[in-house]
Amino acid sequence: MTDTYRIALAGNPNSGKTTVFNELTGAKQLVANYPGVTVERKDGGYRYEGAKIVVTDLPGTYSLTAYSPEERIARRVILDEKPSVVVCIADASNLERNLYLLVQLMEMGANLVLALNMSDDAHKRGQRLDVRRMSELLGFPVIETIGRVGKGIEELREAIHYAHEHPVTDHSTGSEDMLDRFVDELMEKLPEKLPESAPPRRWLALKALEDDQEIVEWIQRRLIGAEDFLMAAREVSKSIEGLVGEPGEVAIGDKRYGYVSGLIQEVVIRRIDQNDRTTSDIVDRVLCHRLLGLPFFLASMYFVFWLTFTVGELPMGWLETLFGHLAEWIDGFWAGSEGFSPLRSLLVDGIIGGVGGVIVFLPNIVLLFLGIAFLEDSGYMARAAFLVDSFMHKIGLHGKSFIPMLTGFGCTIPGIMATRTLESERDRLTTILVLPLMSCGARLPIYMLLIPAFFSESWRAPVMWMIYMIGIVLAVVLAKLLRSSLLAGASTPFVMELPPYRLPTLKSVMLKMWQRAWMYLRKAGTVILAISIVLWALTTFPRKDVYDVDRLMAQGKSIPEAQAESMRNEEALLHSVAGRIGKAMEVVISPMGFDWRIGTAMIGAAAAKEVFVAQIGIVFSLGETDEESEDLHSALQRRYTPLVAFCIMLFMLIATPCVATFAVTRQESGKWKWAILQWGGLTVLGYFITAVVFQVGTLFGL
């Protein structure tokens, strides 16, 4: 007989909860969203002694109030899904605050297991705990774990199973005092019979005292005599305030921390010396120094881009060669056959040319994500938010907006999704609207194609840096404008933990990198493949049978064959659907220095930025013959100046956010209005700026 049960992992942010989750479940994870809200849900599973255990990784929270979506989700899962066991992951070197969450889980009547994670760190800093005594006092299993190296995970599985078979849900949280008597008094005012799905009585009373909005609403909706009960709760809260001089929530917080500190007193044999400065503190003295902090931050960003750009070139070359051989190999099947073959053209020019041209940039994407994952997991990201908050705050945003924006350098989509951590709707909308200006990974292929083609070795990194900086500056200006016009209002709190630096584990960085690279590949495999085929068709059909060049040559004009061939290509593309659209657009885009070829390529880029590269590849290799195939770089160099190349990058940076961005903005903001405003506004802005840059640049003879 197989037993199946659900468990949930709760814990503070930075308690190593995700690492424990990864260790418990392996890499097999299901990432989705909670229905109705936009917080990420992670599920996984494992087997223990024949039983099948389904694990839910709850969002990391410090508390279980109604103030943030994460906290509401966490407690809703515990109350509604009723997991058999709730594992509380606590950072062993920061017991006090981490156990505060445990007390709240005890109040909710959860069947608990406590995992003291990163116990090696705490041990190194001198802490000695009597874990057995702790477990005796709490009445449920307490396990020491080191998630990073997988130590204590087997014991944790065993403890979870034990708790599943011997549930304890009635917890006492400290000695009876005045507050308890007040809570008891209030509990008695609850109706005799509560609805089946109701939370524990005591918890309801506590939350009513805390004036928890979600619970108050629930009471109003579901309880008979709700108003009387809530009135009683307000009165009790007033009596507490009269006695302690502080409202109910402070007394409750005080009581919880009081219980925790009593517990710690009992089980701690030796404390961490708080005056001891750790390595992390010493590092911060330099990295977050008042004068050195910002330069270091800018330098670290520069380093990440250098890594992406310079180091990424090598594996990129290998992939290019690989796809070149693949194309040759497929071409071989048509050896000796004369004339145009639609299938050959589709495979070689459409699919390999399109999708291959995008996959080639995978090394760059992976390296960029590697850098970002490292910054995130090491704890530097929170420092970055601290260093830049005053700038973010000046433009009316939260330092936390910085993290979605930094994620936006990888991809706008997860960036927009990461804005869920922002509590204020206005902050969120502003961040979402300007996010496409954070140059995403999909624009990277465009830069990677154009920068080496048009700029000398020593100019490459600076030009790239400049493009990114332009995006950032524009985002700042735009956010400021939005916050003082359409989205005016007060700013949100900035109470943020600065976790100690930790060396990221290879496993978690790799997992993160893989998940993001996979997202990129999947996009290349599906959306981009489909678009590539459509674009190939657009640029191939209708076909031209008789070329003007051939007619001229037949009339006796002498044109070198190489030039004639390239003229034929141009004619063929002009004749195609895409060429006609591009040609029609030429009038509009010429002030930016763009010709119909660039216009044609941009038709695809409107759907997904990286398609620009695929399409410009098709534009320039159309109808190519083997002996005369040209390198894309030199084809571009022949036709355009560095100024035009720069303008292309600028326009691609600012204008026409991709289809996915449009869809996600619509989904996250809940209104078409914002998605349309974002797309239209950025496109107009991009057009205007690029045109000015081109005209001025031309004036100066660039």
Partner 1 sequence: MVSLGSDNKSGMRLSESLEDYIEAIHKLIQEKKVARVKDIARLKGVRMASVSDAMRKLGERGLVKYEAREYIELTPEGTELARKVRVRHELLHWFFKDLLRVSAVNSEKDACTVEHALSDEGVDKLVKLYEYFHLHPERQKKLLEFLDAGSSSSNGPYVLPTVCTDKARLSDLKPGQSAKVLQIRSKGAVRQRLIDMGMLPDTQIFLERKAPTGDPIWIRMKGFQLSLRLAEADDVQVCLIDAFKDSPSESEA
Question: Which residues contact partner 1 by CB under 8 A?
Answer: 62-63, 65, 67-68, 93-94, 96-97, 100, 175, 177-179, 240, 243-246, 249-251, 253-254, 257-258, 261-262, 265-266, 272, 274, 284, 288, 290-291, 293-294, 382, 385-387, 389-391, 393, 399, 423, 492-500
How far is it, in rounded angstroms, from Cα 183 to Cα 206? 7
The least distance separating partner 1 from the CB of residue 290, rounded to whole angstroms, comes to 5
How far is it, in rounded angstroms, from Cα 420 to Cα 668? 9
What is the DSSP secondary-structure string of 61-111?
-S---SSSHHHHHHHHIIIII--SEEEEEEEGGGHHHHHHHHHHHHHTT--
Count how many residues are written for the chain. 702
The least distance separating partner 1 from the CB of residue 242, rounded to whole angstroms, comes to 9
List the structure tokens of 398.
């939260």
Among residues 154 and 497, whose Cβ is nearest to partner 1?
497
Among residues 240 and 513, whose Cβ is nearest to partner 1?
240
Among residues 65 and 600, whose Cβ is nearest to partner 1?
65
Among residues 331 and 423, whose Cβ is nearest to partner 1?
423
Residues facing residue 55 across a β-bridge? 7, 44
The least distance separating partner 1 from the CB of residue 483, rounded to whole angstroms, comes to 16
The least distance separating partner 1 from the CB of residue 101, rounded to whole angstroms, comes to 9
Among residues 385 and 655, whose Cβ is nearest to partner 1?
385
CA atoms within 13 A on the CB side of 525: 6
The least distance separating partner 1 from the CB of residue 67, rounded to whole angstroms, comes to 5
Helical H runs in 211-247? 213-222, 226-244
Least Cα distance to 74 among 163, 12, 116 occurs for 12
| Angle (nearest 5°) at CA 510 between 506 and 513 | 145
CA atoms within 13 A on the CB side of 138: 29
Residue type, 652: M
Q: How far is CA 597 from the centre of its chain?
A: 34
The least distance separating partner 1 from the CB of residue 325, rounded to whole angstroms, comes to 52
> Residue for token digits 């750009």?
309
Residue type, 395: I
List the structure tokens of 323.
């796809």
Handedness of CA 462, 468, 471, 472 (dihedral sign): negative
List the structure tokens of 443.
């624009």
Least Cα distance to 381 among 260, 287, 269, 266 occurs for 287
Among residues 12 and 576, whose Cβ is nearest to partner 1?
12
Among residues 334 and 494, whose Cβ is nearest to partner 1?
494
The least distance separating partner 1 from the CB of residue 618, rounded to whole angstroms, comes to 48
Secondary structure of 25-58 as H, E, C letters: HCCCEEEEECCCCCCEEEEEEEEECCEEEEEEEC
The least distance separating partner 1 from the CB of residue 87, rounded to whole angstroms, comes to 20
Among residues 243 and 559, whose Cβ is nearest to partner 1?
243
Confirm if 249 and 275 have CB atoms less than 8 A apart: no
> Residue for token digits 């970055």?
384
Among residues 120 and 550, whose Cβ is nearest to partner 1?
120
How far is it, in rounded angstroms, from Cα 623 to Cα 630? 12
Among residues 387 and 613, whose Cβ is nearest to partner 1?
387
The least distance separating partner 1 from the CB of residue 51, rounded to whole angstroms, comes to 35
Among residues 193 and 290, whose Cβ is nearest to partner 1?
290
Among residues 136 and 320, whose Cβ is nearest to partner 1?
136
The least distance separating partner 1 from the CB of residue 437, rounded to whole angstroms, comes to 23
The least distance separating partner 1 from the CB of residue 488, rounded to whole angstroms, comes to 17
The least distance separating partner 1 from the CB of residue 94, rounded to whole angstroms, comes to 5
543 phi-psi bin (left φ>0, alpha ψ -120 to 50, beta other): beta
